[in-house]
Structure formats: structure tokens, C-alpha cells
Chains A and B, each alone.
Chain A
Amino acid sequence: MVLSLTLVCLVCSAVLGCVYAVTAAPIKAAEDAKTTASIARVLPAFEGQPSKESVSVDGVDYTYYRAPGAGYAVISTVVGFGGPLTLMVGIGEDGLVCNTVVLSHSETPGLGAKCTSDTHFIDQFKGWDPAQKSLSVRKDGGEVDAITASTITSRAYSAAISQAYVVFKKLTENE
């Protein structure tokens, strides 16, 4: 009884080990390709490979990618309506938001989930200057046009961008 269970577990672990060894490289390649594609979307064209770094702001660690000559792509996570909302926010060296892309979310399909596809909403942040224009929705007295019926998601999206901007400020003041 013990022997057969042990044997089955051993064989299964061996199989898993082999599959893992074979798939580890393609998995990493797929993840890297996704990150590179996201960085290319949120920052202006740049040369070379962006470097991955991290920084601590107010006790929270943020991962960001630095593309020399183009700016920073900061990964920023906030709480949305359905769970964590993770954005990659590209901020140019001039301090303007270049573009944003949603990395993962659990917003309501058809409502908050539009934050990944609603171009009117996403494109308003292109060239946004967080130092001049308040990053909160109009309902809260800011200047962000919220997605219809998804104020909480829009609020979270804006908060993620402000958070990324705080990280950007910290990164640039050190230099």
C-alpha cells in the first residue's frame, strides 16, 4: 500500500520535473514577450533593452522598467471594483503620461472591464500632465472622464496612474 503510493508519487514527480524542464524556457520567453510588448505600447520608441528595477516608495515596492531616452514604465497595482487592478504606466522623461495598459484585472465584464478596450477612456491619459491636471474623476472634482456606469473602476485606474507618478517623482528626484 505504502509502496504503491510512493511509487506513483515518484513517477508523477519525475514526469512533472521533465515537463517543467522542457517548458521553463518557452514560459519565460512568453512572459518576456508580453512585458516587452507592454513596454513598447506605453513608452515612445526607444533603442536597446529596458532594464528591470525596483524601488520602494512609502514602504511599498514597485517594479519599473527604465528605457534610456524614453522614460519609465511603472507597474502599479490598486484595488478596483472586482479585485486588484494592475496597470503599466509609461511616463516620459518630460513627466507626461505617455500611455497606459492594463496588465491584469478582475472588473465586471461589459462594465468595468471596458477599461481595457474603451479608447475614449484610455486615450484621454495620453500626454496627461499629472502635475497640472488632477487625476480624479469628474464626479470627485477632477478632470478624468469616467467610463459610463463604472466610476469605481475609473477611480482605481486614475489612482493607479497617480501612484505611478509618485514613483516617477521619487525616481527622478534622486537623479
Chain B
Amino acid sequence: MSKIGLITKGFLKENPTFVLVLGMCPTLATTTSAMNGLEMGLATMFVLILSNIVISLIAPVVPDKVHIPVYIVVIATFVTVLQLLMQAYVPDVYETLGLFIPLIVVNCIVLGRAEAFACKNSVGDSALDGIGIGLGFTASLTVIGIVREILGSGSIFGWKFITGDGVLAFVMAPGAFLVLGYLMVLFNKLAKR
């Protein structure tokens, strides 16, 4: 696969949210606004790129029987690094995303890419795969966040265009499922063309 293909597949063919349907927990929980979705996507991308790089490096020497524990330790390390960095330098973002930062450890996308791609491919390709899937995830989360924010709060990226509230249900959990479902339909319809 071409280098550019590695990056673009994260948006369309292997879009983690709309096609692979992975990492639903943060997708549903953190997309209450466009900004939150974007930040969560970027946080996941950070972990994904670094864990992909390290795992592609160590995969050849890790015995098969312990590869899952080793990958989890690597991923958990990067998540904790991210957590500490965010707490230190962007405490407000850290507070908004809260529990969902440590939960990146068990995000299926990260371990999934380690298992399905990074352990079989070169360092460079794994890094590109991390960027591609990470950008795809970020884009999906941001789109869901934008739709939910417009419908739920009447604003885009915090810029309010109506006075008062929107349809509150869209900010809450039921709205997350509705928006995700309709966007998935739309995405797959457009992708099939």
C-alpha cells in the first residue's frame, strides 16, 4: 500500500468509527461538543502513533505468548505519560475529558492497530498508520461533536448562534447514539458510491 494510502484509509476504507466501529465508549461519551471530540481524537492519536512506533520496533523480539501483556504495558505507559502531560500543561482539557483519558488504554483502536498492523509492518509504515487512523478517529469524533453541539447547544466550537438552549437530548447519551447511527448510515451510503 502506498504511503499516502496508509494515511487516507483511516478516513474512508478503515474509518475507525464508521467502518470498523471501534472505540465506541469515548466516541459516545466525549462528543458533547466539537471541541471535546477534537481533543479526545488528538489525545487518542498521540497514544496511537507512539504505541504503533514502539510496538513495531519490539514486536520481532517479543515472545508470542506474552505479546498482549507487553503491548498493554506499552500502551498504558504512553497513556499515563499523556495524562501527566495534560494535567501539567492543559489542566482544563484534562478536566473536561476526565476519566476518558485513562480509558484510552482499553480503547480497541489502539490495541487493534498494534495487533493488526504495527506488529507486522515497518516502523515508518506503522507511524503512518497511526497518523492515518488517528486522523480518521479525530475527524469522526469532531464531526459527531459538531452535529451534537449544533443540535444540542446551538453553537459550533463554542460560538453560539441561537439564544437559549438547543435540543438537550443531543447533548446527553441518547443523542450520542442517534447522531452516531445517522452519521454511520450517511457515511456508508456515500462511501459505497
Contact = CB atoms under 8 A, between A and B. Distances in A.
Interface of A: 1, 4-5, 8-9, 12, 15-16, 19-20, 23, 26-27, 30-31, 34, 108-111
A9 B77 CA distance: 9
Interface in B2-60: 32, 58
Nearest to B58: A8
Query: Chain B interface: which size bin?
Result: 20 to 34
B70 A8 contact: yes
A4 B66 contact: yes
A4 B61 contact: yes
A160 to B, nearest CB: 19
Given A4-B62, A4-B63, A109 B172 contact: yes
A16 B73 contact: no
Contact of A109 (B32, B61, B65, B70): B32
B103 interface: no
B88 interface: yes
Nearest to B95: A104
B87 interface: yes
A110 B152 contact: yes
13 contacts: A1-B66, A4-B61, A5-B69, A5-B70, A5-B73, A9-B73, A19-B85, A27-B91, A109-B171, A109-B172, A110-B152, A110-B168, A111-B168
A26 B94 CA distance: 14
Given A8-B74, A30-B87, A110-B152, 10 more contacts: A4-B61, A8-B58, A16-B81, A19-B80, A20-B84, A23-B84, A23-B85, A26-B89, A27-B84, A109-B32
Nearest to B33: A109
B172 A15 contact: no
B126 interface: no
B84 A19 contact: yes
A8 B73 contact: yes
